[in-house]
Amino acid sequence: MEETYLLNVEGVKKKILHGGQGELPKLQDGSKITFHFQTLKDDFERTVIDDSREAGIPMEIIVGKMFKLEIWETLLSSMRTGEVAEFWCDAIHTGMYALVSRGMRRIAEGRDPLEGQKHRCGMGNMFDYHSTGYDDLDELQRTPQPLIFIMELFRVEEPSAYKRDTWAMSKEEKLMAVPVLHKEGNRLVLLKEFGQAAAKYQEAVICLRNLQAKEKPWEDGWLKLENLVTPLVLNYCQCQLELGEYYEVLEHTTELLQKHNDNAKAYFKRAKAHAAVWNEREAREDFLRVAHLDPSMAAAVKKELKQLGERMRKKHVEDRKRYQGLFQLPQGP
């Protein structure tokens, strides 16, 4: 089944590829729309830019939450459940697609979609980026153009019918969710469920980072949020130490120390990660810095340095045994 017609929106054409069921959904603020989408260039090859099925997870948007590509709400509001439709959208509607796609790709990669974003409105941020980090999106950002969206609508849920994801919450809801996530992470740590605990801490951190993006760096509002972020990051790093993800710990503690270079606990966790990956010099430097910053941790530092020395001596002995015969000349008959 294919039917082409114009929506009551300038620069948009719709073609129904497969009919849906029931009435058109009645969308209201807070409704959650779940769908798959494919984004194509309007060229001869119909070049595919994004495909949510490749990530294996349907797309979700919350109505009224200022999704940067506003036209998508309009397109989806014209669809019935189960419907598959193709929409042609002029460049007047697609100028923000590069930023939207960048965020979706980062989420699919398990990264913070707001990482590196400056304290600006969406349009301002588009001009601040020298690069999105993806060549095809950089091209779209330089030269906005018509795009084709193929969408399959799965369901529309009323605000009361689903558990709200933290990214979809208001500022007040996010602030209320953070201590709940923190407490749940602590409970999971006591059960030694370190992977699940780390996920709770990470969700709380991303929640706060989203709020921080709307504040001016180093001013009061930003600093208050940063004070909430720091212990969550440290808890997350402790979980990663338990899980053996030492390079993850090195990355996050180093990032934390770039902003808070007097945090003894961050140095301590980074030192343990350095020791685990045989960075002896860096581990000793960080352990000594801990003892200098917080004398109450001197006993723990002394214990860690002793263990580090024993591990390094054992490693050197094993290395000598392993290589001692490599350069000996073979014996004659």
Structure confidence by residue, pLDDT tens digits, 262-293: 999 999 999 999 999 989 999 999 999 999 99
CA 67 to CA 104: how far, in whole Å?
Answer: 12
Predicted confidence band of residue 164 (pLDDT cuts 50, 70, 90)? low
Cβ neighbour number for residue 175 with a 10 Å cutoff: 15
Cβ pair 290, 268 in contact under 8 A:
yes
CA 41 to CA 91: how far, in whole Å?
Answer: 11
R_g of the chain computed on alpha carbons: 26
CA 72 to CA 33: how far, in whole Å?
Answer: 10
Predicted confidence band of residue 173 (pLDDT cuts 50, 70, 90)? confident
What sign does the dihedral 96-36-104-29 (CA atoms) show? positive
Predicted confidence band of residue 190 (pLDDT cuts 50, 70, 90)? very high
Helices and strands of the chain, counted as H and E runs: 12, 7
Q: How much is the pLDDT for 40?
A: 95
Q: Is residue 51 over pLDDT 60?
A: yes
Q: How much is the pLDDT for 111?
A: 60
Mean pLDDT of 151-157: 92
Write out the two tokens for 188: 């999971």
Mean pLDDT of 62-81: 83
Q: How much is the pLDDT for 328?
A: 57
Cβ pair 103, 22 in contact under 8 A:
no
Mean pLDDT of 63-71: 74
3-state secondary structure (DSSP) of residue 252: helix
H or E segment and range at residue 220: helix 220-243
Count, residues in the chain:
333
- The amino acid present at 25, given as its one-letter code, is P
- The amino acid present at 172, given as its one-letter code, is E
Q: Which residue has the higher pLDDT, 37 or 127?
A: 37
Q: How much is the pLDDT for 3?
A: 57
Mean pLDDT of 49-57: 86
3-state secondary structure (DSSP) of residue 133: coil
What sign does the dihedral 165-65-170-113 (CA atoms) show? positive
Q: What are phi and psi of 192, to 5 degrees?
A: 60, 25
Predicted confidence band of residue 329 (pLDDT cuts 50, 70, 90)? low
Crossing angle for the helix pair 264-276 and 280-293, nearest 10 degrees? 160
Alpha helices of the chain — where are they, by DSSP H? 52-55, 71-77, 97-108, 122-128, 135-142, 171-190, 194-212, 220-243, 246-259, 264-276, 280-293, 298-323
Report the predicted TM-score, pTM, of the whole model to 2 decimal places. Answer: 0.53
Q: How much is the pLDDT for 163?
A: 59
Compute CA distances 303 → 277, 288, 298, whole Å: 18, 12, 9
Range scoring the smallest mean pLDDT among 54-63, 75-84, 100-109, 154-163: 154-163
Eight-state DSSP code of residue 42:
S
Write out the two tokens for 101: 């796609």
H or E segment and range at residue 37: strand 32-41
- The amino acid present at 69, given as its one-letter code, is L
Cβ neighbour number for residue 204 with a 10 Å cutoff: 28
Predicted confidence band of residue 325 (pLDDT cuts 50, 70, 90)? low
Cβ pair 121, 163 in contact under 8 A:
no
Cβ pair 60, 34 in contact under 8 A:
yes
CA 98 to CA 141: how far, in whole Å?
Answer: 6
Instruction: Tell me the pLDDT tens digit for each residue of 202-225.
Output: 989 988 988 888 888 889 999 999
Instruction: Tell me the pLDDT tens digit for each residue of 131-147.
Output: 778 888 888 888 889 99
Mean pLDDT of 182-193: 94
Q: How much is the pLDDT for 128?
A: 43
Cβ pair 189, 170 in contact under 8 A:
no
Domains and CATH numbers, the chain: 12-157 (3.10.50.40), 171-326 (1.25.40.10)
Mean pLDDT of 233-261: 94
Instruction: Tell me the pLDDT tens digit for each residue of 30-47.
Output: 788 999 999 999 999 999
Q: What are phi and psi of 134, to 5 degrees?
A: -135, 125
Q: Is residue 129 over pLDDT 50?
A: no
Mean pLDDT score of the chain? 84
CA 149 to CA 14: how far, in whole Å?
Answer: 10
Mean pLDDT of 311-318: 81
Q: How much is the pLDDT for 1?
A: 47
Q: How much is the pLDDT for 99?
A: 85
Cβ neighbour number for residue 85 with a 10 Å cutoff: 23
